[in-house]
Structure 1
Amino acid sequence: MTNMISEWVRCPVCGNKTRLQIRKDTELKNFPLYCPKCRQERRI
């Protein structure tokens, strides 16, 4: 069994952790990322 390390996605505006975690093999394209702290949505 391999141990997959995941990491929190950070907001590009304020740098705060969002509610998403990604792994090294994750690919996002035109994903709407919402930040609960600054209440903005950005496409990443």
Structure 2
Amino acid sequence: MLEKYWIKCPICNGKTRVQVFYNTVLRNFPLFCPKCKLTHIIDVEKLEIIIKNSEKQKEGY
């Protein structure tokens, strides 16, 4: 069975709500951090996180 890993926020190092396997590949994934309230556009390959963009979460809808 594959082991799951939590993706941590690249800014505050807080735990997000996303888990990945070692062989998971994500491109242009919007990662939201509930601790620092930022959304980061990231790429993930072999558990290596590359930040493409960070933006503050907008209030409301």
TM-score strictly above 0.5: yes
Instruction: Give runs of aligned pairs for residues 16-35 of structure 1, distance below 5 A.
Output: 16-35=14-33
Greater fraction of residues in strand: 2
Consecutive aligned runs of 4 or more in structure 1 exceeding 2 Å deviation:
none
Q: How many residues align?
A: 42
Question: Relative contact order (alpha carbons < 8 A, sep ≥ 6): 1 or 2 greater?
Answer: 1
**Paired-residue identity, %:** 45
Give, in angstroms, the shift of residue 24 of structure 1: 1.0
**Do structure 1's residue 41 and structure 2's residue 61 form an aligned pair?**
no
- The answer for unaligned runs of 5 or more in structure 2 is 43-61
1:1-44 per-position Cα deviation (integer Å, ceiling 9, x unaligned): xx110100000110011000000111011100000000000010
RMSD of aligned Cα (Å): 0.5
